[in-house]
């Protein structure tokens, strides 16, 4: 709760101000200017705003403000000057000294409350800007460190390791594509969306992952559907919506992927790549409300990267054409995602998505031609379009 200090040697005016502001703010009243100044200097928690009478005995308001201005510990506190004298020159002097506002007494409680609310709002806005600047500075420092680390790590061994990771991803993606053409291209697009969205959240300070891991997170996001290799072809390649029994089998692709990763984690212990791949593959169908699968996780119990990639996954499913449904427009897909924010999706992720949704649209347009060419190729190979991936009635926007 914000603290508002009222300094006035008139008890009646103090009482009016206190009654008008109490409940909304913590109100400190002072009748003696000298005592108020000592209180300000010694207090650990400073007021957010000071209401200062000009005509006081002993030390008047202007003298008090001058002493405040010379003290770096309190000179940033905004001050509203008040006076019982209607005098333009006094009001002008108050503003010239640095007052944020000026009021005549006697107070009108509602006007006083409105003015205080206005200036407290400005205080909050400044605090938010300062916080964002701090986050941005921290991001830039981390980015500098990340760039420095990239240069340090640019050895032959590191390059070989990165190539090996890409090799594994490439092999798995190729196998998935051979089994189901839509899923293969879908994983590639999801990783592109993931890069855009994650970079935005890192800049905003809302993503809690090291910036240096950005590249491997993008790589591992391509593996979210690798578990579909273990799902029978008759289900993966089915044209049309799943029956409830078929959908139960399809849902196991999250567990299949997680179990396969766990089985061989001992070969590369403490690998961020493996950790991120596991989190996203297992949990990208969990829902913010707790009704997702496979574990029914809720809210922030869902790994953050899974919450982020989930939005990317659903967006691509919505704007992509399948055998059993038409593609949605970009605007329709955005509307669906926002509609289930706080239910299916993390509201913070959806908020970041809204900031960069136009970039998602550009990526979807770039991929559209390539995907259509692939469909035509598959149609030629199989005698029919075999790239549709089925959904199931009553299962969220993604449907798988």
Residue 25 DSSP symbol: B
- C-alpha span between 239 and 391 (Å, rounded): 9
pLDDT band at 40 (very low <50, low <70, confident <90, very high): very high
- C-alpha span between 106 and 12 (Å, rounded): 9
Segment 60-70 shows an average pLDDT of 93
C-alpha closest to that of 4 among 70, 59, 57, 82 = 82
* Range with the largest mean pLDDT of 37-46, 66-75, 336-345: 336-345
- C-alpha span between 277 and 173 (Å, rounded): 14
* SS3 label, residue 242: coil
Specify the CATH number for 3-128; select among 3.30.450.20, 1.10.3720.10, 3.40.50.2300, 3.40.1710.10.
Answer: 3.40.50.2300
Q: 156-382 belongs to which CATH class?
A: mainly alpha
pLDDT band at 239 (very low <50, low <70, confident <90, very high): confident
How many C-beta atoms lie closer than 10 Å to residue 98's C-beta?
14
The alpha carbon dihedral of 235, 219, 217, 319 has a sign of negative
Segment 114-140 shows an average pLDDT of 89
Show the CA angle centred on residue 124, arms to residues 198 and 70, nearest 5°.
125
C-alpha closest to that of 36 among 76, 2, 65 = 65
- C-alpha span between 289 and 342 (Å, rounded): 7
* SS3 label, residue 5: strand
| pLDDT above 70 (res 275) | yes
Q: Return the residue matching tokens 């200090």.
A: 5
pTM of the full structure? 0.58
CA distances (Å), origin 96, targets 81, 93, 99, 110:
12, 5, 7, 26
CA distances (Å), origin 335, targets 192, 315, 360:
21, 10, 14
Query: pLDDT tens-digit profile of 194-222?
Result: 999 999 999 999 999 999 999 889 988 98
Of 52-56, 95-99, 142-146, 176-180, least confident by mean pLDDT is 176-180
Any idea where the domains of the chain sit in the sequence?
A: 3-128, 156-382
pLDDT of residue 399: 44
The alpha carbon dihedral of 341, 342, 345, 346 has a sign of positive
């Amino acid at each position: 709760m914000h603290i508002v200090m009222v300094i006035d040697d008139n008890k009646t005016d103090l009482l009016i101000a206190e009654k008008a502001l109490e409940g909304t703010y913590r109100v400190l009243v002072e009748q003696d200017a000298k005592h108020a100044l000592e209180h300000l200097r010694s207090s650990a928690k400073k007021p957010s705003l000071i209401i200062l009478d000009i005509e006081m005995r002993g030390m008047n308001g202007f003298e008090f403000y001058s002493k405040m201005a010379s003290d770096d510990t309190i000179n940033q506190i905004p001050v509203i000057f008040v006076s019982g004298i209607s005098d333009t020159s006094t009001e002008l002097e108050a503003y010239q000294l640095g007052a944020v506002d000026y009021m005549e007494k006697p107070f009108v409680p509602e006007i006083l409350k409105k003015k205080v609310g206005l200036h407290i709002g400005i205080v909050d806005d400044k605090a938010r800007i300062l916080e964002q600047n701090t986050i941005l500075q921290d991001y830039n420092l981390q980015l500098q460190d990340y760039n420095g680390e990239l240069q340090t790590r640019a050895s032959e061994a590191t390059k070989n390791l990165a190539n090996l990771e890409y090799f594994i991803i490439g092999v798995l993606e190729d196998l998935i594509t051979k089994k189901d053409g839509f899923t293969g291209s879908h994983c590639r697009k999801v990783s592109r969306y993931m890069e855009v969205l994650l970079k935005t959240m890192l800049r905003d300070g809302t993503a809690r992952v090291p910036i240096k891991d950005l590249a491997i997170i993008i790589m591992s996001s391509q593996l979210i559907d690798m578990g579909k290799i273990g799902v029978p072809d008759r289900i993966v390649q089915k044209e049309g919506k799943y029956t409830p029994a078929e959908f139960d089998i399809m849902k196991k692709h999250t567990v299949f992927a997680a179990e396969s990763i766990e089985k061989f984690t001992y070969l590369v212990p403490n690998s961020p790549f493996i950790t991120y791949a596991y989190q996203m593959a297992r949990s990208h169908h969990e829902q913010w409300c707790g009704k997702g699968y496979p574990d029914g996780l809720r809210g922030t119990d869902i790994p953050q990267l899974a919450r982020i990639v989930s939005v990317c996954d659903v967006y691509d499913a919505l704007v992509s054409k399948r055998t059993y449904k038409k593609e949605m427009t970009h605007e329709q897909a955005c509307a669906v995602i926002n509609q289930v924010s706080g239910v299916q999706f993390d509201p913070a992720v959806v908020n970041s998505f809204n900031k960069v949704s136009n970039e998602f649209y550009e990526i979807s347009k770039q991929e559209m031609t390539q995907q259509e060419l692939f469909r035509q190729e598959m149609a030629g190979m199989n005698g029919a379009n075999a790239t549709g991936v089925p959904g199931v009635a009553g299962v969220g926007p993604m449907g798988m």
